[in-house]
Amino acid sequence: MLEKERTDDTYTVYYHLRAPHGLINDPNGLIYYRNQYHVFFQWNPEGTTHENKTWGHAVSDDLINWDFLEPALEPTDWFDKNGCYSGSAFEKDGKLYLFYTGNVRNADGDRESYQCLAVSEDGVRFEKKGPLFEHPKMYTAHLRDPKIWKEGETYWMVLGAQREDLKGTALVYRSTDILNWTFEGEIMDALPDFGYMWECPDVLKLENKDIFVFSPQGLEPEGVLYQNIFQTGYMLGHFQEGVFLPDNDEFIEMDRGFEFYAPQSFTDNQNRTIVFGWMGTMPPEEEAAVPTIKDGWIHHLSLPREIKLISNKLVQQPVEEVKMLRLKSSEILEYISQIDKIRFNTPEQEIECVWTEEPASFAWTLRDEVAVSYEAAENKLTVERTNWLTSKRETRSVYLDEPLTSLRLFLEDSAMELYVNAGREVFSLRYFNEQRTDFWEWQNDDWKEYVSQLTVHELKKAILFA
């Protein structure tokens, strides 16, 4: 077992999955295998830059308490020497198969990508089998992030790609034995000009629909949409014989906040579909300025979210187990008319607020830093924070397609997730505020009128590196 190192307390997150040190990015290889949850993740254990990517490895019985194992994959072979990039896991005949991208810089400094396999008998030690196939010629070397699933007797793989015309796409491969793969073509004709690269594609089934989730790079902002450096979203449709037929051309962002990227889904032993995302994608200059770097770590994953399709909308809620984090719960509805702010004992808090009728407007401020506000006239919900590089305030917003009825907010010293209307919209973000006062305040009392439940939970510090 990996030694758990303690880093400085500053901005530490205690219940979002992170690494003991170094840089973490995409969740990889998510699987429930041999009675445990396995989360692998892109991890540079040697520093806080995007180099030396290994597959970090954490296991859990309950998605809340994690043990950190030795890295499952390290960039030690000719086909992955510059990084064991993202990919997925699949169990077959009791063995755990990991599919990942070997990233290579060749002698000319050019990129090469190999889709590789590693197999384990115990879920702890992995034997690399090397590259699985050669790529078709019509694509650049930006080919990565294999995601595997099975339908009937067929294994499918979807792979992020870039065409020679420098447009993003995803490729589909098929196999009958999980070892030999044939190229089927591009996943769909829709969105032929939608960014320059599609990372971390994923195809999942919910309620007889197929959902194609991907993370396109290179979209231009459009009103409140596509405001981050890279986006993550989904399309609804049907996946048939290697082709995704979308219901329409709509690409819906999965998260409306600042940091949520490269999510991956898996189905657990209770038949729940769960995703983790990476709460760290940001422009390089912002990343270099993240204050946790001085303590030797950067970034973390999102909470595990159970996803469902309700009225053709992807709805995300933290898995039920997240309630295990609650240490102390205070029902404050009866006091709310008398108080004008609430003081927290620690930054790790959950707030649940339910309204019987939607509030006309409100403006909350959390920890002197994150503002959450709503204007019913426009159905517009906005989250605002200070950019730690420019010191400017910046916002992300969504126009709700129904009245606001509930908010569930998860707070840590430098992270927040906000679930709106039982997960019909979600905002995820990081924030770094030197003041770090533990107050929740509001600008006026309007929002109190229709509140029917108001609970504040103090949350546990679940992930400690001793």
For the annotated catalytic residues, the residue numbers are 26
Q: Is 350 in the site for ligand FRU (CB under 6 A)?
A: no
Which of 199, 259, 384, 412 binds ligand FRU (CB under 6 A)? It is: 199
Residue 167 or 367 having the CB closest to ligand FRU? 167
* Least gap, CB of 213 to ligand FRU (angstroms): 13
* Least gap, CB of 53 to ligand FRU (angstroms): 5
Q: Is 158 in the site for ligand FRU (CB under 6 A)?
A: no
Binders in 7-26 for ligand FRU, by CB under 6 A:
25-26
335 Rama class: left (phi>0) / alpha (psi -120 to 50) / beta: alpha
Q: Is 74 in the site for ligand FRU (CB under 6 A)?
A: no
Residue 162 or 292 having the CB closest to ligand FRU? 162
Closest CA to 312 of 430, 448, 207: 207
Contact 224, 399 (CB under 8 A): yes
Q: Is 300 in the site for ligand FRU (CB under 6 A)?
A: no
* Least gap, CB of 419 to ligand FRU (angstroms): 23
Which of 12, 55, 117, 145 binds ligand FRU (CB under 6 A)? It is: 145
Q: Is 299 in the site for ligand FRU (CB under 6 A)?
A: no
Residue 139 or 450 having the CB closest to ligand FRU? 139
Residue 363 C-alpha from the chain's centroid = 27
Encoded tokens for 367: 């920890």
* Least gap, CB of 101 to ligand FRU (angstroms): 5
> Measured between alpha carbons, how far is 359 from 403 in angstroms, rounded to an integer?
9
Which of 38, 57, 144, 396 binds ligand FRU (CB under 6 A)? It is: 144
> Measured between alpha carbons, how far is 30 from 102 in angstroms, rounded to an integer?
18
What are the beta bridge partners of residue 101?
A: 85, 115
DSSP class of residue 47 equals -
Q: Is 262 in the site for ligand FRU (CB under 6 A)?
A: yes
Which of 38, 53, 300, 457 binds ligand FRU (CB under 6 A)? It is: 53
Using CB under 6 A, count the residues that bind ligand FRU.
13
Q: Is 287 in the site for ligand FRU (CB under 6 A)?
A: no
Name 259's Cβ contacts closer than 8 Å, sequence gap at least 6. 228, 278, 279, 280, 281, 282, 428, 429, 430
Q: Is 42 in the site for ligand FRU (CB under 6 A)?
A: yes
Residue 53 or 430 having the CB closest to ligand FRU? 53
Residue 147 or 408 having the CB closest to ligand FRU? 147
> Measured between alpha carbons, how far is 65 from 325 in angstroms, rounded to an integer?
10
Longest Cα–Cα distance of the chain, Å, equals 69
Binders in 87-106 for ligand FRU, by CB under 6 A:
101
Residue 157 or 353 having the CB closest to ligand FRU? 157
Q: Is 200 in the site for ligand FRU (CB under 6 A)?
A: yes
Q: Is 86 in the site for ligand FRU (CB under 6 A)?
A: yes
DSSP track, 119-183: EESSSSS-EEEEE--PPPTTEEEEEEEEEEEEETTEEEEEEEEEETTS-EEEEEEEESSSSS-EE
Angle at 347 between CA 438 and CA 434, to 5 degrees: 65
Which SS3 state, helix, strand or coil, does residue 372 take? strand
Q: Which residues bind ligand FRU (CB under 6 A)?
A: 25-26, 42, 53, 85-86, 101, 144-145, 160, 199-200, 262
